[in-house]
Structure 1
């Protein structure tokens, strides 16, 4: 990872500031919510006590049948099309039935839907009607009650049979419609509203059950305009109130949710609303179950308040950028009188939280931007200075291992800087001075030795020539032969060192050209076959020409050195493999041979000068100086590549790799 990236990561650590600010704004938003919830709950409790003290018509007890207001006229035909808008709020009737009640200015309508796959049919006047499927409808006016039996053997109009004696005010005959299908039957009818019915009992008899229908007289519960007027007198602005029965039925409502907006600029945009919902607000309840037109609110918070406790929750508002606080408290201190629900829409909490968050984010990101720019500028300057040091260090060494003359005569860059980079530059300068002197000494050592050793060798050789003409004891002849052999070997060593210096200059002066490297390798392989003797020599070349800008005579010379080395270490009946492969940016020549593996300590030193793994030469043999692989390395470096050696994976031998990228093309001056 670069230095600039590391400092950029350090700069990103300042993001902890906006994160901490975001947590603080969330905590502030929660405190604002709690304060608003406590204030609205206190208002709800005070309003509930006022309703009780003023003896407002509150819903008493639970288990009542709620009568809905009809949104459209109802036709008595036994079908539920007219009841579709009220179906979501149907009231359960036993295990398999449901009941819906509705009224308009003249009539009280009832609709009974019973699910039964097996039917026992009989008319209300049949003798066996009590063993069939039927519905008992009970009416109560004041203290008097009367029940009617509804049954039918076929779909169509049905007349209800009274089960009780006649009573004043009760009709003697009820007319309804009976419809059925494979899933059950439905009974639809109507009663004059002027009867003033106070309670109703609906019991469903299933012929397949031995249990008798249980009477469940329940009072009728309706929406109360009088109670709504009482609420309107107690409400404050921008608050909506609803009185609910213990079962959640809305019996009164008043007020509207219209959060005030002082100015047009206070209207939050879609992005601000999204930020508030995503980053600041705790999860909000969905607004759909709290719709104003719903006749019943079967919600957990309402039931909790119906049990005697107060609840408060936040939900989404009807308008963009608003939230609604809903508080439910029991009327009269317990659940018998129902629940008072107050709702208050607010844009103040989202606006304050958004403004605080955006202000904090803008400040934090401004600080982060300034800090990031400062650190980036510092990192860029530091990176540029280090890059200059790197470039100067890379330019200090020429291709032949000598130090660049410009570095020798000029000052190393940034040595005058007073900081740590200046100290590093001065250390580099001192190091290059020492390395330059030592490198020059090593490079001239061979020529100096070859020059200095010529005169002593000539003196020793002339002395040995004189001794041959002198009278010597017979036992001195072997010693004289050994001395002459040693002088010859030293002479060969001096000549080889001089030859190595001339070879380096020859390689540096070689002229490149575009050649097919495959033809060069093929020609070398053909020349090596007679020299391989009993050894198996194989050559693998690419199918298409491999053009490389190179010096073919140098590559052939390097292959000669590698083949000579492989021939020395390959058994008499072993194998030698020569291959050429194309690379994306050059070529790779590999010469592998069967033989003993390379020592691990020598794999990185084989291509150095005067390094050899061959056995010591016996007296009379020519010494081996280890210059062959050194020449291979010089050829590879001249072609901007490298020479490598490694043991084969199966341990059967050694592979020498010559990776070439081509020699640089020179521009011709005009």
Structure 2
């Protein structure tokens, strides 16, 4: 990983700071929500107690709810006019449902009874009570009147009173419509509001059913109360929508609205709202927009309040960026009896729910500061990387091809740690250059210095031979001559090795086809190797390499000369080339004696040989050929290997070449 990436990673670690700030803002938003909820809950409890204290007209028990019709109702028994009110139909046990509605003049009733088997009689028939019928009980205060509703055929009916109710102001008959089908029958009727009916009970008799009659006792009639709404409006706090609900969650009164009073120009933009929703705000409850116009609020919060517990919920408002806080509390009378529930709804914009807008701005500012810090660190890392790159380039240029020190280091005059490092590198390279110059010239100096003593020793031996030595002394003279000859060969080899190293280091690189070089060398070796066989294995496609072709040919010459000296005349020599990844692999195998196990790792060292101590024409072999091969391979960023063949029939030398490094432009 580069230095710039490491510093960039360090800069990214500073992002924990805005994360901490974000957690702080979220905690602050949670505290603000909690505080706002506690304040609204306190207002709700105070308002619930005030309704009881001022004697507001709260129902003392559950009853039948009377809705306000959306459209005018026609009494025909079909119920088409009751469609908008159907979702809030009230059950009649498990046999049907009941809907009540009223306008300024009439009280309407629609009952749907499930009964697949019919026993029909008119209400004035003697056995009407043994047929399918409904007993409708009307109440006005403590006065009751029961009517028998039955019909022998679909159409209009006249239900007589079962008791004399004229003194109580009830009519002798009430008229309505009866319609039936395969699933049951429907009853629709209306009563004048002037009767003052404030209670109602139903009893359903199925003549063919084995079970008892379904009887719904007389219950009071409940409806939306304008007088209670007026009282509620006087007690409810500003900016809050208040709703009073009965014990079965029917809406009895409402006051106020959910409109926010904030300036629309200050409404948060889509970006601020998105950040608030995704990063800051706690989860919201599922919104239920139908509850605004519904006569019954059967929500989890209301059910919890009617169970005697306080309920709080947060939902998203219809306006962008607004939220709605709802607090629902139970309403109890002085004796602790549950009389209903009170729900307060308060709408506000989303972003003000943060600690304040300054916190949001602080979050953005912290992100900006961290971004600027990251850019500064990245710029510093870039400058430092550039300086280190220059120092690296200077270190590579500091060593010339002939081994001499050249050039100066950058940042030499800088006073920081990098300047100290550059000066230390410069002193180190100067010291290394001095040792390199000494070692580079050591071989030539030794050869020059040893030539004169060797010449003196050789001339002295010649004089001794001409002076006439006794016969027993001549073997010693011959040994002395062999030693002088060997020392002369060593001196020449040292000079030759020194020149060869400089030549290899100074070789110019070019891009060439290695396959052509190997093919040309192999063709030249055939005449020299005869009668030995030469086998050639080359790839079908060219092998491009950036290097010195004359050095590659020289390395092959050394390997071939080594192979010829060990291969019997009827043996074989195999030369191959192939590509492995980014390496060009040269292999030269020959039939002959295997390598000693102890010599395989030292074979390419200088002055190391496994031959006998004689060569052609009795010349001493000094072991420089494979050393030169190693230098050439290393110059091409590769490595040389030697091993025995798996079947033990000979030796294989492997040269793995990557190519000489390309020179950088100054």
TM-score band w.r.t. shorter chain: 0.7 to 0.9
**Uncovered stretches (5+) of structure 2, i.e. residues with no partner:** none
Distance in 2 between the 1:432 and 1:317 partners?
75
Q: In the alignment, is the contact (CA less than 8 A) between 1:632 and 1:643 conserved in 2? A: no
Query: SS in structure 1 opposite 2:445?
Result: helix
How large is the Cα RMSD of the aligned pairs?
4.3
Per-residue CA shift, 1:49-84, capped at 9, x if unaligned?
22212222113334x332322212345666665444
Shift of the 550–171 alpha-carbon distance from structure 1 to 2, 3 Å rule, reads same
Q: 1:146 to 1:526 in 2, by over 3 A?
A: farther
In structure 2, the CA distance between the partners of 1:186 and 1:458, relative to structure 1 (3 Å rule), is farther
Is residue 2:407 matched to residue 1:406? Answer: yes
Does the CA contact (< 8 Å) of 1:241 and 1:340 recur in 2?
yes
- The corresponding residue for 2:640 is 645
Classify the secondary structure of the residue corresponding to 2:326. Answer: strand
Q: Which residue of 2 aligns with 1:232?
A: 233
Distance in 2, matches of 1:598 and 1:433, equals 42
User: What's the CA shift for 1:445?
Assistant: 1.9
TM-score by length of 2: 0.81
Provide Cα deviations, 1:363-393, integer angstroms capped at 9, x if missing partner: 4234434544543444344333322322211
The answer for the alignment partner of 1:177 in structure 2 is: 179
Report what 2:610 is aligned to. 615
Report the more deviating stretch, 71-80 or 514-523: 71-80
Q: Secondary structure at the match of 1:390?
A: helix
Please point out which of 331, 335, 347 is paired with 1:345.
347
Per the alignment, residue 270 of structure 1 pairs with 270
Counterparts in 2 of 1:335 and 1:619: CA distance versus 1, 3 Å: farther
Structure 2 residue 485 is the aligned partner of structure 1 residue 488:
yes
Distance, in Å, in 2 between the alignment partners of 1:483 and 1:268 is 107
CA distance in 2, matches of 1:353, 1:46: 27
Cα displacement string for residues 431-450 of structure 1 (whole angstroms, at most 9, x for unaligned residues): 11221111112211222222
Q: Is the 8 A contact 1:582 1:588 kept in 2?
A: yes
Residue in 2 aligned with 1:139?
137
Q: Which moved more, 1:26-35 or 1:567-576?
A: 567-576
1:599-634 deviation line (CA, Å, top 9, x unaligned): 89976x876x6164x426336765554433443455
After TM superposition, list the pairs within 5 Å mapping 1:15-26 onto structure 2.
Answer: 15-26=15-26
Does the C-alpha gap of structure 1 residues 379 and 243 become closer, same or farther in structure 2, counting only changes over 3 Å? same
Contact 1:598 1:647 in 2 (8 A): no
State which of 385, 397, 400 in structure 1 corresponds to 2:399. 397
Query: Cα 1:462–1:124, aligned 2, differ >3 Å: closer, same or farther?
Result: farther
CA distance in 2, matches of 1:350, 1:561: 87
> Partner residue of 2:9?
9
The corresponding residue for 1:388 is 390
Aligned counterpart, 2:417 = 420
1:278-324 alpha-carbon deviations (Å, 9 max, x no partner): 23322122332573212222222212221222233322223222222
The 2-side partners of 1:80 and 1:229 are apart by 33
CA displacement at 1:258 relative to structure 2: 1.9
Does residue 1:590 correspond to 2:591, yes or no? no
Distance 2:603 2:634 in 1: 15
Q: 8 Å contact 1:590–1:657 — kept in the other structure? A: yes
Q: What is aligned with 1:192?
A: 191
Q: Helix, strand or coil for the counterpart of 2:338?
A: coil
Give 1:68's aligned residue.
67
Between 648-657 and 213-222, the greater mean CA deviation after superposition: 648-657
Matched residues in 1 for 2:147 and 2:596: separation? 112
- Cα distance in structure 2, aligned partners of 1:363 and 1:418: 36
Between the aligned partners of 1:560 and 1:162, the Cα distance in structure 2 is 133
Q: Are 2:245 and 2:342, in contact at CA under 8 Å, matched by a contact in 1? A: yes
Tell me the alpha carbon deviations over residues 79-103 of structure 1, each in whole angstroms, 9 at most, x when there is no partner: 6654443343344444575544434
Aligned to 1:444: 441
Distance 1:420 1:666, change over 3 A: closer
CA contact (8 A) 1:542 1:582 kept: no
TM-score, scaled relative to structure 1: 0.81
